[in-house]
Amino acid sequence: MTGHIDYTIRFAVDPATAARMDTDALRRNFHIGDLFRPGRISLTYSHYDRMIVGGAMPVDAPLPLEAIRPTGTARFLERRELIAVNIGGPGRVEMNGESFRLEPRDMVYAGMGEEVTFSSEDPAAPAKFYLLSAPAHQTLPRRHIRIGDAKRLDLGSAATSNERSIFQFIHPEGVKTCQLVVGMTQLAPGSVWNTMPCHVHDRRMEAYLYFDLDDSARILHLMGEPGETRHIVMAREEAVLSPPWSIHSGCGTANYAFIWAMAGDNVDYTDVEMVAMETLR
């Protein structure tokens, strides 16, 4: 723990070990809860492509993003890049003196070397910044992307319970990053399935944050090798890590939204290996 920042570390797990895990072990290794705590920054340092997944919830005072021991650097973004997506009330992200106002579902990109501080406009309805960070090899321009500016794809249908809108915040034709690829998917009312038929991408890990659902609703997140699947029960504003060898899919008790983020060898959104339905077990 560092001041107002808490962090945990998650080590990489191979498929054979994951297949032998019980419910508690699966949750200890892949599930991330308690992301948004008033006045705190909560981070999970993952050994999958060194991705950091976290949450910042400023209330009465700004929260600076400071270095943590696992990065081995004097400043958090000394050798990293960052994306922050706001899923709470209106807030601000300040980077080296420049301030960006984020409405719900807006995001900012902070390049290598930036100093970042988070704040809320109204303590009664604080911002909730979902944080994603990966190693960087060059400094790229800071960017503010509103939800209306994201590349939108409308896919699926009510007949297959997966009618959805995909919002690509970061993609090769738009904002440039070193390795982060981030977007959001909103399922339409009556649709509950995401990423089915499913896929894997051995060159990138992925993380999901599920939100925009009632406290009593749940999502069964599917993971594991296609022939050796497991599930993790997810509640609102909880995240889950997906290793490169694992599928990542889910089915909810109601419609929902989720933020997906990848890091790894490339930034090609289409670089996936589809899984045939008959091979799932």
C-alpha count within 13 angstroms, C-beta hemisphere, residue 51? 30
Chain-centroid distance of CA 22 in Å reads 24
Q: Does residue 171 have a known ligand-binding role?
A: no
Burial class (CB in 10 A: 0-12, 13-18, 19+), 56: buried
Tokens of 53: 């997944």
Q: Does residue 199 have a known ligand-binding role?
A: yes
Which of 11, 63, 69 shows the shortest CA–CA distance to 37?
63
Q: Does residue 163 have a known ligand-binding role?
A: no
Q: Does residue 78 have a known ligand-binding role?
A: no
Contact in structure between 246 and 222 (CB atoms under 8 Å): no
Q: What is the DSSP letter of 7?
A: E
Binding site as annotated, residues = 199, 201, 206, 248
Show binding-site residues for Zn(2+). 199, 201, 206, 248
